[in-house]
Chains A and B, each alone.
Chain A
């Protein structure tokens, strides 16, 4: 008898495809949240594979804070066209204009939290009943508690104390009017798995993941990129550094890491010996002990 073994990366791939297909089968109006970051790129790639040779059965949805890295936005548009997917973009700026939320004050006002408002409005506008997210359990301690199929009440809220049991691979996507689900096909992937997969699939990724020269300011240990949305404080100044990004979020709260890694192989080496978590560069998580949990309860990604 031959040995029927799969590498763990393949196991993760098959698992994610199974989850993506469950979403297409169980929901009427699913959407895939796509930011142009590495996790959403991997998720979108898996979705392509899950439904090939047919097209993606859901649109790509991006909540644009207006503070995104231009490289990620360019990539997003290219990707949507390349896979022939419908791209829906909604802007935090519009939510602010409409008085749905308010710009933060301070030296680096972040629109990260405001995304929740725009996201929930978008979900309501299109009546999405399931939103696929690229979040992984290894990213953060509140995310470590997520189910694959994560229920959201009619206000878009997560109730971590009262999640549905999730047995085996039986996903219960039943819901009442107005409720929706967030689904995380990459739940069991680690940062390393994501990079290994990008390498295996030879996926194109936005250039900011690779080493480059950039003017940054060191604020509380986070290297923030020069941008019009940041006001320098006394004693702060921009300086040019050789950096790359480990995660791509809002530029006002995502820090760069100093790195010479300019190829996938070098990035993988770097990840393997990393001593900091990837979200260590996220100022949004540093705001308080339960910053992520609180945002997630309110309806964040």
Chain B
């Protein structure tokens, strides 16, 4: 299984095939040094997705560093500071395709200090590979990342039990970790969890099934990535369209053109459809929809389009089009789970800037309801201080109404970020909890996210 340098080549694909391939976005997660970057390097290397010059460079740098085996982590650890310390600091994005699928990989850092960058990489993923060092088993950072993956609504998790070479490819050890993780994960809300014993360093069960784990009968990691079912993670039921900007050509040819430009966040919009513009509640009928390839008969998520209406209504950036019989909640009071990124603690009663869809507003944190104990997933209502890398539930009040759905129902209208006013730093990520029909969403049990 050891690394014999092969000639690298990108897979060849014809145009039609290439254009029709589906896309899986996945992220790595797990504690520092569990082998995430090495795994991504191994995956790219063994599937021959590394270019010759990149490989030559890798060989040269490995040699310069006095290391004996090819350091595959250097394929994603590209920053000078990362290479110096041998850790990942920020997400690296890599792109590769096999004849079956196209992949966007986000290799994220395991170090707790850079949790914010892990969340960045995970927020757009459909699948997370959570690595566990076979010697260490499930540790706090494994729990934190799994909980974040669950909160973010990532539907598929592959638990890669890594460094099996250091535990003699022991089936018993693998089973122990599977049991440990399953116990923890039963409290999470992840639909699909698979376990694979691997050695990222030596390649076992990464691209090919390994002869050193004869007791393992599942597929290799790559096989799993190529075959996992990916449904659309977009909502095609509830019509939502947040206005980014209004297009007014101001020329004779298009004198009356007034296009509301934005990206469909949910549902389907067609010419002739009646819409309501929120928060005003003004109704109108869609006259035409313009996409990048011309006029469209329908628009759905995640398309970027411009919508014209049959009448002049006062709508602009930050407003949202829905349908009369299917509207989001319009509210200034929001209940949400928050992931905190800043070194300074969340300030209860403090004011922040909140960005939600295309709207930006001031807000005040009215209450911290609980903090989550990452290891036990218990709600801590005694210690309500939310510091860096903590996750908790808060109530915020915004200066202007927002048009919201629960995060579970819609990732776009259900998410927001908090920004600190003076530094402009992004300090928190919020996932909205809202039950249709509940007045303020306060009574909702958090059963639908993260298992809390």
Contacts and interface: CB of A to CB of B under 8 A. Distances in A.
Interface of A: 1, 4-11, 13-15, 17-18, 21-22, 24-25, 46, 49-55, 137-138, 140-142, 144-145, 147, 160-161, 163-170, 172, 174-176, 187-188, 190, 192, 196, 199, 265, 268, 272-277, 280, 289-290, 293
A144 B71 CA distance: 18
Contact of A272 (B10, B102, B254, B306): B10
A101 B209 CA distance: 57
B419 interface: yes
B170 interface: no
A170 B245 contact: no
Nearest to B104: A188
Contact of A275 (B51, B123, B356): B51
B15 A50 contact: no
Given A145-B78, A280-B53, A15 B302 contact: yes
Interface in B239-267: 244-245, 247-251, 253-254, 257, 261-263
Contacts of B356: 170
Contacts of A21: 244-245, 261-262, 304
Nearest to B243: A25
B290 interface: yes
B426 A167 contact: yes
Contacts of B303: 6, 14
B89 interface: yes
7 contacts: A8-B23, A15-B302, A142-B79, A172-B424, A174-B419, A175-B424, A176-B424
Contact of B426 (A49, A144, A165): A165
A72 B424 CA distance: 39
B244 A22 contact: yes
B361 interface: no
Contacts of A275: 7-10, 51-52
Given A25-B244, A174-B353, A17 B300 contact: no
Interface string B65-78: 00000000001101
A126 B54 CA distance: 39
B253 A167 contact: no
Contact of B261 (A50, A163, A164, A276): A50
B95 A188 contact: yes
B437 to A, nearest CB: 25
A273 B424 contact: no
A164 B425 CA distance: 7
A273 B268 CA distance: 39
Contacts of A160: 79, 81, 89-90
A254 B275 CA distance: 53
Contact of A4 (B78, B117, B301): B301
Interface in B14-31: 15, 18-23
Contacts of A137: 93, 95
A212 to B, nearest CB: 24
Given A167-B417, A188-B93, A144 B12 contact: no
A293 B341 CA distance: 25
B345 interface: no
B81 A4 contact: no
A196 B21 CA distance: 13
A4 B301 CA distance: 8
A175 B292 CA distance: 30
B124 interface: yes
A230 B94 CA distance: 35
Contacts of A277: 51, 53-54
Interface of B: 7-13, 15, 18-23, 51-54, 61, 75-76, 78-81, 83, 89-95, 102, 104, 116-117, 119-120, 123-124, 232, 234, 236, 244-245, 247-251, 253-254, 257, 261-263, 268, 290, 292, 300-304, 306, 317, 341, 353, 355-356, 358, 411-412, 415-417, 419, 424-426, 429
Contact of A138 (B18, B94, B302, B412): B94
B254 A163 contact: no
A151 B417 CA distance: 17
A100 B365 CA distance: 48
Given A188-B93, A272-B18, A289-B61, 7 more contacts: A5-B232, A21-B244, A50-B261, A50-B304, A144-B76, A164-B426, A172-B355
Nearest to B101: A8
B240 to A, nearest CB: 13
Given A5-B232, A161-B89, A168-B123, A14 B290 contact: no
Given A14-B263, A172-B419, A274-B10, A166 B234 contact: no
B162 to A, nearest CB: 22
B15 A268 contact: yes
Nearest to A290: B80
A19 to B, nearest CB: 9
Contacts of B18: 192, 196, 272
B402 to A, nearest CB: 13
B300 to A, nearest CB: 4
Contacts of A14: 263, 292, 302-304
Given A144-B92, A145-B91, A161 B249 contact: no
Among all A-B residue pairs, the 6 with the closest Cβ atoms: A141-B78, A17-B304, A174-B424, A54-B249, A280-B53, A165-B116
Contacts of A147: 120
Given A4-B301, A14-B292, A168-B412, A144 B94 contact: yes
Contacts of B290: 52
